[in-house]
Structure 1
Amino acid sequence: MLPLQHFISSYFLGRKMLFPDYIFETSWEVCNKVGGIYTVLSTRAKTLQEKLNDHIIFIGPDCRNEQQYSYFKSDDKLFADWRRKATTEGLTIKVGRWLVPGNPIAVLVDFKQFFPEKNHIYGKLWEDFQVDSLHAYGDYDDSAMFAYGAAKVVESFYRFYLDDSKKVVFHANEWQTGFAALVLRELVPQIATIFTTHATCIGRSIAGNNKPLYEYLWAYNGDQMAQELNIQSKHSIEKQTVHNVDCFTTVSDITATECRELLDKPADVVLPNGFENDFVPRGADFQKKRSDARRRLLNVARALTGTQIDNDALIVSTSGRYEFRNKGIDVFIEAMNGLNFDLNLKKQIVAFVEVPGWWGAPRKDLVDRLESRQKFDTPLDTPMLTHHLNNMADDAVMNTFRRLNIRNVPSDKVKLIFLPCYLNGNDGVLELDYYDALPGHDLCIYPSYYEPWGYTPLEAIAFKVPCITTDLAGFGLWANAAKGRYAELEDGVKVIHRTDYNHAEVVDEIKSTVAAFSAFSKDKVNLCRKAAAKLSEQALWSKFIRHYEAAYDLALQHAIKRVSDKNTTRAPQVCDL
């Protein structure tokens, strides 16, 4: 593993680091907002755009075909001559701008056109890299065809505009795009390849199947577990990409350990996920957003429960991907429910589970109450759910509510509410974008069991919201490293020790931390909020981009040597007669 030390030592050795003339970066989440990788790439784009001035080109899937994109705008003037050439080569693409800070160039690939070639492509990947696509199912085919299309786009662009005099890096994110890095190794070997695994397929699967990951990590065989958990093909493409790129990276030290044990290769460089905070509101604008968000969140709770909740009630939440155990959603619900019986709790609490489930529509009875702006003293049916669920009987959150007999009765000091939709400002109930809702929170809780990095706590502290996380999250480990000890709430982040087996202790520590926070004075709360914002500034992309510079340098150095060695091997033998 080669983190910042490589960056520093290069200068001490008197060698200026190599930096690419062009970077192509691909992910399933380019212009496609479905998870945390979108945040990684979209917030980093501005920093790279400032360094490369339109020589950073993102490649994403054309998932919507003719439907309008929310985060992409076509520009017919961009690379018009190349686009015409690409069309003659059979590529169907859109070229434009990603509507994020920096407005980088983005190319969207229609990958469905490659499905007729699927078996041939899989056969070639097996021959060249032993990628096992035989056991593929689900999203594997879509990902593979998109990645193949991304590689063909880069090859076409390179041959039209570039040559060997340019230092070019191709950066693939997650197993979905590993195919692209491998294909490019064959098509354009001069391009340096980087692969980032944000979470290993097999590690996530082990944790998600309620198997102990950390205590037995050293004993697991990744290939054997992939077969047992029926993810052989995803594991295969991830592992073969890891072993065949010029630079293999991951996002935290905890995931680097996981990669070493499960993929049989340590990461070359750790790339922590940074943040761009120039869109975080300031001053009076922030206070207005905080006030508006609190009012809306409390009104939703009042309308659901028919309870007159105090204006100074603590608003807490957990959010992120709906991975019930991995994200610690189970721990959060148990801790919040337990606070109902905690004599040290000094304020009412409204606790939101903000994870997107399989929801159908906003509840009309709730919407009617919100629009009436009246006060109600009777609860709605199921007064802990804001939207109808298509799988009410099988939903993990609702089943936990039932198991714990959570009913949000007036005497409950804690009201637990499930908000099972993306907060995009158009959910029909809260009607706030996530970044507009976040300032209204007083405390965010992310008791993760499996979390390679953890963007949600970083987002929280950037918006001056103190948070609780664990040392099984990459972000939690980073916060501890930044403070030189286990971080506390007064630092802006409370990091709790978590293992495979201390579930109950984590629940208890969250309860005691929240109860203590409820007794903080206004001045002490403000100190926590200021400390949170200050800590987040240490994770800005302007600080973390140096790790990427080390990865670019390493990839380019390896690519130069790889191509040179290949050319030497192919050189004709000269006989000394």
Structure 2
Amino acid sequence: MTQEFAKPDYIFETSWEVCNKIGGIYTVLSTKARTLKQTLGDNLIFIGPDLGLGIQHDFIESNTIFQDWKESAEKRNHLKIRIGRWNIPSQPIVILVDYRPFFAHKNEIYSRMWEWFGINSLYGFGDYDDASLFGYSVGTIIENFYHFYRLDNQHVIAHFNEWNTAFGLFYLKRFLPPVGTIFTTHATTVGRSIAGNNKPLYDYLPGYHGDQMSKELNVESKHSVEKHAAHLADCFTTVSKITAKECTRILEKKPDIITPNGFEDNFVPDHDLFPIKRAEARDILKKVSETLVGYKLPSDTLFVATSGRYEYINKGLNLFLDTLHSVENDKSLQHTIVAFIMVPAYISGPKFALQNKLLNNITSAFKENPFVTHEMVEPWKDPILSNISWLNFTNHSDSKIKLVFVPSYLNGNDGIFNKSYYDLLIGMDLTMFLSYYEPWGYTPLESIAFSVPTITTTLSGFGQWINEHPQPIDKGVAIIERKDSNYANAAADAAYQLITFANMNHSEITEVRTNAQSLSQKAHWEFFIPFYYQAYEIALSKKHA
């Protein structure tokens, strides 16, 4: 895109994931910041929830940034805020707001939102209150900042990500209409719930009605917030074509523009350090695997992984296990494969016996749960472990597939690997993200950035962006076709791609790794940021129409 668009003077962007690494939106915002900051400098301001000292380790507090406003906001408006910088390479300004004082006014706030916009909060539960009051507090922050610094003659954008920030958008529409508002849904609440409840989303999408399904799936209030935000925003965006279709049907609003998720590869080690980090990762992956299964692995063992949020059906974890089961029984497979399932679950801590064996270099098999690296709480209820048992995986020495379930956040302090996710990803030979519901999909994109080829599906936004048709693994990214009605075929196709890769020789694998890394370069923010500037223009144009 070469067309130039009017640029805002200030951007306030908010998400529950600002300085709070729990999902893909964290990656969206933290990597996009560098490109935006080149134009906006410190007029790019992120707003996130204040979750307390000792929790948000990537926040660097400051006693000087906007100090005059902070003192006024706390004294006159009773706002509880901390100001500093996000501890990422671009170090943008961040405001963290303590939304808990608004709980005392919750009923009044919900009543007003019903009267003003028809927001139905009657059936909110779980995280609904925290999210709504956080969003509301963000609106008050932006309004207060706007008036204190007299931004009346400035082009100001407020960008809200996901339903859990939308109360801020509603607040601004009521009290600060000159600000251009953008609402981005990264996945609709109803669409995610349909898929997660094993209902066919895609074949029946034309027949679904969002309001009716929200009641059936018990997400009525969240859907109400999301739908109204899509309609009220000056510019409504989503991240991929597949989600745009979903929004048009479920939210009854076609996105004004699709804003794909780019990324920056500054978290990938440079050329000199890369082989060292890869060797370190493979050493610890091999050591933990051997300690867990109780015997030495062949030197040519392949490491394969899947990861992400624990959405058993949506993330294709069921398909991943079924694929591995068919591969294990395929006589053409020439290598041993250790398959890592890196999905945070309900744990009490690292597996003490495994810790002890790693510490003392003891290699002996575990009789109970020889698949898990951490202590599960109520493991008998876990879908992954249940399917491992159902498919009769054993981790015996004569089995071609060994499974290692890592149910912990990999933050460098998990007690077993003690390395971050990226520091382990670099050691993998292949990744598989066989998603059924994946509006974009950062995990395969991160994988190829580390020169690790990946297998994904036509139902992920990333997969559709690469190529809307199936393609083989020798391209660096294999895309298999997934539909509501082809589960068995998808498993067979994924198994074929995995075996094809596993049986490649060294030079062929080197070429595939090069192809993967080259593809990742096409997703840098420099190629995607023009779509965001167009979204800003759409929002600002509504203010001057």
TM-score by length of 2: 0.98
Aligned residue in 2 for 1:489: 473
Aligned residue in 1 for 2:430: 443
Decide whether the 8 Å contact of 2:472 with 2:497 is kept in 1.
no
Residue number among 523, 538, 541 corresponding to 1:557 in the alignment: 541
Aligned residue in 1 for 2:194: 206
Q: Does 1:230 align with 2:214?
A: no
Residue number among 503, 523, 529 corresponding to 2:487 in the alignment: 503
Q: Does 1:293 align with 2:281?
A: yes
Aligned residue in 2 for 1:539: 523
Match runs of 1:451-490 below 5 Å:
451-480=438-467, 485-490=469-474
- Percent identity, aligned pairs only, is 46
Aligned residue in 1 for 2:386: 399
Decide whether the 8 Å contact of 1:304 with 1:380 is kept in 2.
no
Q: What are the ranges of 5 or more consecutive residues in structure 2 without an aligned counterpart?
A: none
Aligned residue in 2 for 1:428: 415
Aligned residue in 1 for 2:63: 76
Deviations along 1:328-358, one digit per CA (max 9) or x if unpaired, are: 0011111112211111111100001100000
Deviations along 1:187-221, one digit per CA (max 9) or x if unpaired, are: 11000000000000000000001100000000000
CA distance in 2, matches of 1:377, 1:357: 25
After TM superposition, give the deviation of residue 98 of structure 1 in Å.
Answer: 0.6
Q: Does 1:95 align with 2:79?
A: no
Report the count of equivalent residues: 544
Decide whether the 8 Å contact of 2:350 with 2:373 is kept in 1.
yes
Decide whether the 8 Å contact of 1:194 with 1:555 is kept in 2.
yes
Decide whether the 8 Å contact of 1:171 with 1:194 is kept in 2.
yes
Decide whether the 8 Å contact of 1:22 with 1:56 is kept in 2.
yes
After TM superposition, give the deviation of residue 381 of structure 1 in Å.
Answer: 2.6
What letter is aligned with 1:69? Q
What letter is aligned with 1:361? G
Cα RMSD between the aligned structures? Answer: 1.1
| Greater displacement, 191-200 / 514-523 | 514-523
Decide whether the 8 Å contact of 1:336 with 1:416 is kept in 2.
no
Residue number among 112, 126, 132 corresponding to 1:124 in the alignment: 112
CA distance in 1, matches of 2:150, 2:9: 10
CA distance in 1, matches of 2:46, 2:531: 19
Q: What are the ranges of 5 or more consecutive residues in structure 1 without an aligned counterpart?
A: 1-6, 562-577
Aligned residue in 1 for 2:396: 409
Residue number among 151, 155, 175 corresponding to 1:167 in the alignment: 155
Aligned residue in 2 for 1:383: 370
CA distance in 2, matches of 1:306, 1:380: 10
What letter is aligned with 2:374? H
CA distance in 1, matches of 2:507, 2:234: 51
Decide whether the 8 Å contact of 1:349 with 1:415 is kept in 2.
yes
Q: Does 1:217 align with 2:205?
A: yes
After TM superposition, give the deviation of residue 361 of structure 1 in Å.
Answer: 1.4
Residue number among 110, 117, 123 corresponding to 1:135 in the alignment: 123
What letter is aligned with 2:488? A
Deviations along 1:399-440, one digit per CA (max 9) or x if unpaired, are: 111111112111101101110011111111111101110110
What letter is aligned with 1:492? G
Deviations along 1:229-287, one digit per CA (max 9) or x if unpaired, are: 11100000000000001000000000000000100011001011111012211223111
Q: Which of structures 1 and 2 has the bigger CA Rg?
A: 1
- SS of the equivalent of 2:56 reads coil
CA distance in 2, matches of 1:175, 1:196: 9
Aligned residue in 1 for 2:54: 67
Residue number among 301, 313, 335 corresponding to 1:313 in the alignment: 301
Decide whether the 8 Å contact of 2:10 with 2:43 is kept in 1.
yes
Q: Does 1:111 align with 2:99?
A: yes
| Greater displacement, 67-76 / 179-188 | 67-76
What letter is aligned with 1:188? L
* Over 2 Å off, 4+ runs: 66-69, 376-381, 485-488
CA distance in 2, matches of 1:250, 1:22: 22
Q: Does 1:188 align with 2:176?
A: yes
What letter is aligned with 1:495? I
Decide whether the 8 Å contact of 2:182 with 2:237 is kept in 1.
yes
CA distance in 2, matches of 1:30, 1:68: 12
CA distance in 1, matches of 2:409, 2:300: 26
Q: Does 1:336 align with 2:314?
A: no
